[in-house]
Amino acid sequence: MDSLITVFLPLALAVIMFSLGLGLTVADFARVAAQPKAFGIGAFSQLVTIPAVAFLIATAFGLPPELAVGLMILSLCPGGVTSNILTKLARGDLALSITLTGIISLVAVFTMPPLVAFFARHFMGLDAPPVDVTRLGISMFLITAAPVVIGVLVRRFAEGMALAIEPFVEKLALVLFVIVVVGALAANWSLFVANLAVLAPSLIVLNLALLAIGLGLGRVFALGPAQSTAIAIETDIQNATLGITVGSLIAEQASALPPFSLPSGVYGITMYLVTIPFVLWRRRMMG
């Protein structure tokens, strides 16, 4: 288990983020200026709406403190790489989805550490683990932002190679994601079973609420169906691997995946069970 925490988990996340970078171009970042309204709504939804909804759900369901912190960690994560695939399948605005995933992933390096520390103190009080914001930020930069930037540079200066290896790296990232999620559940199986009655419903409610709010924000601000679909999926699909990793980084004991990682591990499964029917519905609506 030590090697899973210290080696495999950061490596898996780095590969996943590198695969994200390979799919990004300079034009994706420039698109913020071209579509400021849609990007702004999507960014607000991810950076503000998700944590606010997660906080309300953690409080309303009375989650145990460690699981409540884990839920907040999950809510502070950027969108997952698979959000782009699901957006494409749903006939949403793929360019907007890619832009949101890439930029919010970089922004999260700065927003997550202080907010993780804040929510840990809020829910756990004196029992909260000491969160070194600077150390956490540096760790996140090395295993998230740096691989994304490397991927972008490879795509920019060696596009042929990037396009050749991208399918393999995407498949590898998916396999690693599954291994990480299964590992998180296995390491916390007794805790998961003990809290299944409250944890599973809270995460499914979070799933449904985020999809509805993301789609609703698009409609309220008069975005097109494709843009609204992209924002809904980006709001719902979280980078669960990052949540699991951050949970392990703040835990005092690193010999096993901690309870802080459990909500992200479970959400890594439930988010697809809830989102795939939504994707099929949107695909049929816009077909």
DSSP per-residue codes, 19-83 = HHHHT--HHHHHHHHHSHHHHHHHHHIIIIIHHHHHHHHHHHTT--HHHHHHHHHHHHS-B-THH
Say if residue 3's pLDDT is above 60: no
Indicate the pLDDT class of residue 140, thresholds 50, 70 and 90: very high
Mean pLDDT of the chain: 90
pLDDT bin (cut points 50, 70, 90) of residue 6 is low
pLDDT band at 30 (very low <50, low <70, confident <90, very high): confident
Provide the pLDDT for residue 187.
Answer: 75
pLDDT in tens, 154-210: 999 999 999 999 899 988 888 888 888 887 778 778 878 888 888 889 999 999 999
Give the percent of the chain with pLDDT over 70: 96
Q: Which residue has the higher pLDDT, 52 or 3?
A: 52
pLDDT tens for each residue of 89-112: 999 998 899 899 999 999 999 999
What is the gyration radius of the CA atoms in the chain, in angstroms?
18
Rounded Cα–Cα distance for residues 117 and 28 (Å): 32
Residue 243 has pLDDT above 60, yes or no: yes
Pick among 3.40.50.360, 1.20.1530.20, 3.40.50.720, 3.40.50.970: CATH of 2-285: 1.20.1530.20
Q: Confidence class of residue 65 from pLDDT cuts 50, 70 and 90?
A: very high
| Secondary structure (3-state) at 7 | helix
Give the start-to-end residue ranges of the domains of the chain: 2-285
